[in-house]
Every structure is written in structure tokens, then in C-alpha cells.
Amino acid sequence: PDLGPSVRMEAALSAISLGRPAQALPLLTPLAAAIQNDPTVRRHALRLRNLAAWLVGDWTEMDVLIADFCALRELECAALTPGGPTMLAAVLNAPGDLALARVPIPGDPGPGFVKIRVRAFGLNFTETLLDGWHVQKLSPVAALVNGIECAGIVVKAGTPGSPLVAGTRVVACAGSMGRAVDGTHAEYVIAPETCVVVVREGEDQLPW
């Protein structure tokens, strides 16, 4: 049957949350390509499709992933208010070219994602591979914020009724962050909810 955008999105989110990203891709690929008249929904669909493609790990998808990344970047830039707020981020401009820069603060998260104010982030082996072949393909096309993990505070969840309410302390890791979408080495990040874990009160020694 011909599923509507909202039904496709919900089905794809369910497949990803169940650890079945390969089932999500056939739903998201035509959706991301077809939605042209609603920039917000298209932005969410592109972000979700990049997450699914990265989780599948099929490198034959790299050209599509790059195209989606570029389309997502164009939509994000188009949604910005001139002179609007910016944040400090570690931006990978090209392989081996990592530098601090002021970049726009990301907007509201879509379904399946959460916006986090980053308070701390890690640096591990993955993030030292700035000359990795996937980065060589992606970063020359559009500068990418580095980083795959962080700890911080939820600003907003994109899924109605999500337990990740504003003010919740969380840690986030992996997904497509820092590799197919902007990463965690910034003041704010949009993270997949499936990659976010709540830090319970009394179970940590975080100073914030």
C-alpha cells in the first residue's frame, strides 16, 4: 500500500528502535526524495534516513548518504534566521583540517531525535581517524561537526510523550553523529533517541 509520510516515519522509527535499520531504509528513501513542499518534514526524514543508512553499514550507500547530507545542510541553512544565535564547535572542514568555529545552533529535533546541550564530550580512537575514507568523501562536500559521544542536558525531544523531557541529564553515543550528521563536539547536538541514556540522580559524580 501507498503509505503516507507520517505512517512511513513512524514505521521507520519503530524499525530502528527495534534494531532493524535495514527495514527502515526502504521506507525512508522514497520519503526523503518525495517530500519537497514541507522543509521541516523533509529535514527530519533526511536526518532519519542518514541514521538508518549508517546503522546498516552498507558502504554502497555512501553516495546517497552524501547527497542526503548536502540536502539536509541546505535545508538547515535555509531555516536559519540571519544574525541568529551561534555556538562554538569543532568543525572538520576537510580530512586532517579540524578547527574551532562559530556555527548556527541546530533547530528543533524531529521525531526520533533529541536536542542536547552538551556539557562534556569524549575523544576516542574513532575521532582520531580524521583521514578515514568516509570522512574524505563527506567533509569536502560540507563541513561536519566532529564527535560521536557526549554528556549533557536535554533541551527538547522531537517525539511527543518522550521520557526525555527538558532538563533530563543524559549521555549519548554513536548512531550517525559525527559521521553522517553533525556530531557532539559542540555546545548543542541533535542525537538519535535510541543512542541516549538517562543519567539517574545519585548514580554519578557529574558537577552539573
The DSSP string of 10-52 is HHHHHHHHTT-HHHHHHHHHHHHHH--S-HHHHHHHHHHHHHH
CB 92 within 8 Å of CB 175: no
Could you give the CA distance from residue 109 to residue 192 in angstroms, rounded to a whole number? Answer: 9
Least trusted range by pLDDT, from 11-20, 150-159, 199-208: 199-208
Give the best-scoring range by mean pLDDT among 8-12, 35-39, 67-71.
8-12
Q: What is the pLDDT of residue 56?
A: 82
pTM of the prediction? 0.82
Q: pLDDT tens digits for 42-92?
A: 888 888 888 888 888 765 666 777 777 778 777 777 777 677 788 999 987
Could you give the CA distance from residue 135 to residue 133 in angstroms, rounded to a whole number? Answer: 5
Instruction: Tell whether the model's pLDDT for residue 170 goes beyond 70.
Output: yes
